[in-house]
């Protein structure tokens, strides 16, 4: 057992020292380079703890940086150079992320082409929903049905653009990839695109990348028992890449099957092959992640989806897209995955960290960007969630281990508290992307 009891964080707060955090950090770095030996990670963390205990007497509290320096030393001295490099890179990314957070929002607008952002903002200004005050005014004037219709029409126009682009390049396109961060609306958008193109005579074969997850027990797990599977390394990328190559070469593959109830990949497989005129379709968080399509022929079309809502709050800041997706995922996971709202909030830092590293940097490689954000979704989420965010803002206020959850909860509570609520969501079309999260989705077959 470690003699060291506390560690000082970068902001000066002192929190309990736990070896499990070190083990998890080492294991996460190992997973990033293909390793999945949790016992080795534990053995290495034993060495780290011993060095921390030896270097810091009981009257001196080590800092996070002190411990991270020792982790790097132990990894290198034990011959784990590749793991050490992954750990150093992750540490550097975290530091740069913290610096960005002090000066900019999490919006990461630099990854979205300005022409797209400008068109979304221009649309919002034209329809009087570019500010919370403007949105509330239109709701107060009884215009909610109009806002719904206008928002859905704008989204539909993006789907039209994707449809036209694929049809215009039908002879060259063999693979369509629909990518985007968690709860961006990939499933509904993918289904809408596939249905529309099927009406034009195109046939799709879907490769469900969820079936390529490693067993849940192989993912890093923190001291709260929460698994970090929000990374492309949670998927067997090499197998996916090989299967993509085989399918595009006309070969049959045995697509695996992942059982989400047991958290394991079963021995069951599904024979899958592309007919001559079939198009392969992928809907995945990591569709733009380069190793996924490494070495494939350049015959694919890539779509990125994000709720690019351009809505300014009373404090002058724009609503963050990550907060919209957080609320969406809360509602969806509570209804379909037996996950309560609080679990989604405390897990979200893993979601955000994973997308900052492995999704957002590759937006520029997309051929088209779909905006799934609807100005009227916040008024619908308000009565469903505002009370929970108020509670979490109080509950996590003085908990140093839940600082991320507190920051998000207090920010979202302030936002929702300023929004005029809509308690009746019956005006939401049954084929709307929002139905993916609030329930009641019906798409024509």
Q: What is the pLDDT of residues 70-89, one digit of tens each?
A: 988 888 889 888 888 787 77
**One domain, residues 345 and 408:** yes
- Residue 225: which pLDDT band, with cuts at 50, 70 and 90? low
- Percent of the chain exceeding pLDDT 70 equals 93
Is the same domain home to 60 and 161? no
- Of residues 67 and 369, the one with the higher pLDDT is 369
Q: Are residues 61 and 205 in the same domain?
A: no
Domain ranges, residue 65: 6-103
85 and 134 housed in the same domain: no
Residue that is last in its domain, among 70, 103, 136: 103
Q: Which of the two residues, 318 and 7, has the higher pLDDT score?
A: 318
Whose tokens are 């994707």? That residue is 162
Per-residue pLDDT, averaged over 294-302, amounts to 90
In total, how many domains does the chain have? 2
Give me the residue label for tokens 């993918």: 190
Q: Look over the chain and give the mean of its residue pLDDT values, rounded to a whole number.
A: 89
Name 318's bridge partners: 312
Tell me if 365 sits within 8 A of 288, measured CB to CB.
yes
243 touches 282 (CB < 8 A): no
56 and 186 both lie in a single domain: no
115 shares a domain with 53: no
Comparing 99-113, 215-229, 249-263, the range with the smallest average pLDDT is 99-113
How does residue 17 score in pLDDT terms, banded at 50, 70 and 90?
Answer: confident
Q: Do 238 and 361 lie in a common domain? A: yes
Separation in Å, CA 259 to CA 19, 268, 336: 31, 10, 15
Distance CA 283, CA 178 (A): 5
Q: Which pLDDT band, with edges at 50, 70 and 90, does 104 fall under?
A: very low
Same domain for 83 and 120?
Answer: no
Residue 445: inside a domain, yes or no?
Answer: no
Instruction: Quickly state the pLDDT bin for 3 (edges 50, 70, 90).
Output: confident
Read off the pLDDT of each residue in 297-309 and give the average, rounded to a whole number: 93
Going from the C-alpha of 59 to that of each of 7, 14, 46, 92, 382, the distances in angstroms are 12, 13, 21, 29, 49
Helix (H) or strand (E) holding 302: strand 300-306
Residue 361 lies in a domain: yes
Residue 31 is encoded by which pair of tokens? Answer: 């997973």
How much is the average pLDDT of 365-372? 96
Residue 404, pLDDT > 80, answer yes
444 is a domain residue: no
pLDDT of residue 400 exceeding 50: yes
The verdict on residue 403 lying in a domain is yes
Same-domain status, 134 and 149: yes
Which of these three, 103, 124, 142, is where a domain ends? 103
Looking at residue 396, its pLDDT comes to 94
Using alpha carbons, select from 271, 301, 305 the residue that is nearest to residue 181.
305
Q: What is the pLDDT of residues 310-328, one digit of tens each?
A: 999 989 999 999 999 999 9
Q: Is the domain of 167 the same as that of 238?
A: yes
Nearest Cα residue to 299 out of 179, 177, 160, 161: 177
pLDDT at 61 over 50: yes
Check whether residue 239 and residue 387 sit in a common domain: yes
Let me know if residue 28 belongs to a domain: yes
pLDDT interval class at 417 (50, 70, 90): very high
**What local confidence, expressed as pLDDT, does residue 102 receive?**
45
Q: Considering only 174-178, 207-211, 404-408, which range has the smallest mean pLDDT?
A: 207-211
Q: Which CATH number fits the domain that encloses residue 168?
A: 3.40.50.300
The arithmetic mean of pLDDT across residues 12-35, rounded, is: 83
When pLDDT is cut at 50, 70 and 90, the band that residue 103 belongs to is very low
Assess if residue 443 is contained within a domain.
no
Cα(186)–Cα(167) distance, rounded to whole angstroms? 20
Whole-prediction pTM value?
A: 0.82
Among residues 59, 83, 103, which one ends one of the domains?
A: 103
Q: Are residues 83 and 153 in the same domain?
A: no
> What would the pLDDT profile of 334-354 be if each residue is shown by its tens digit?
888 778 999 999 999 889 988
């Amino acid at each position: 057992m470690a003699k060291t009891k506390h560690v000082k964080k970068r902001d000066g707060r002192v929190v309990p020292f736990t070896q499990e955090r070190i083990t998890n950090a080492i294991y996460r770095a190992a997973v990033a380079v293909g390793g999945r030996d949790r016992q080795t990670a534990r053995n290495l963390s034993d060495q780290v703890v011993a060095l921390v205990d030896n270097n810091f007497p009981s009257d001196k509290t080590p800092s996070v940086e002190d411990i991270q320096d020792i982790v790097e030393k132990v990894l290198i001295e034990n011959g784990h150079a590749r793991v050490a490099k992954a750990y150093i890179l992750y540490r550097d990314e975290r530091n740069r992320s913290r610096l960005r957070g002090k000066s900019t929002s999490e919006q990461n607008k630099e990854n979205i082409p300005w022409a797209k952002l400008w068109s979304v903002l221009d649309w919002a200004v034209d329809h009087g929903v570019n500010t919370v005050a403007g949105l509330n005014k239109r709701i107060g004037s009884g215009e909610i049905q109009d806002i719904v219709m206008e928002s859905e029409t704008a989204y539909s126009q993006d789907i039209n653009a994707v449809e036209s682009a694929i049809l215009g390049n039908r002879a060259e396109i063999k693979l369509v990839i629909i990518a985007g961060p968690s709860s961006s609306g990939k499933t509904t958008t993918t289904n809408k695109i596939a249905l529309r193109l099927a009406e034009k005579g195109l046939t799709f074969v879907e490769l469900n990348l969820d079936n390529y997850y490693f067993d849940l027990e192989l993912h890093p797990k923190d001291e709260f028992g929460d698994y970090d599977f929000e990374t492309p390394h949670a998927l067997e990328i090499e197998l996916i890449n090989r299967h993509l190559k085989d399918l595009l070469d006309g070969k049959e593959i045995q697509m695996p099957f992942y059982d989400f109830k047991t958290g394991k990949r079963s021995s069951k497989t599904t024979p899958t092959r592309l007919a001559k005129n079939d198009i392969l379709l992928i809907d995945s968080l990591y569709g733009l992640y380069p190793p996924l399509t490494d070495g494939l022929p350049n015959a694919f079309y890539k779509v990125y989806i994000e709720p690019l809502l351009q809505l300014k709050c009373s404090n002058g800041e724009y609503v963050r897209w990550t907060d919209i997706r957080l609320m969406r995922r809360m509602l969806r996971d509570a209804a379909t995955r037996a996950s309560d709202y609080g679990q989604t909030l405390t897990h979200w830092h893993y979601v955000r960290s994973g997308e900052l590293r492995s999704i957002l940097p590759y937006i520029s490689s997309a051929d088209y960007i779909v905006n799934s954000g609807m100005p009227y979704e916040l008024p619908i989420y308000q009565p469903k969630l505002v009370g929970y965010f108020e509670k979490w803002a109080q509950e996590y206020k003085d908990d140093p281990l839940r600082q991320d959850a507190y920051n998000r909860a207090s920010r979202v509570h302030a936002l929702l508290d300023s929004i005029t609520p809509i308690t009746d969501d019956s005006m939401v079309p049954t084929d709307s992307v929002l139905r993916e999260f609030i329930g009641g989705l019906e798409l024509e077959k």
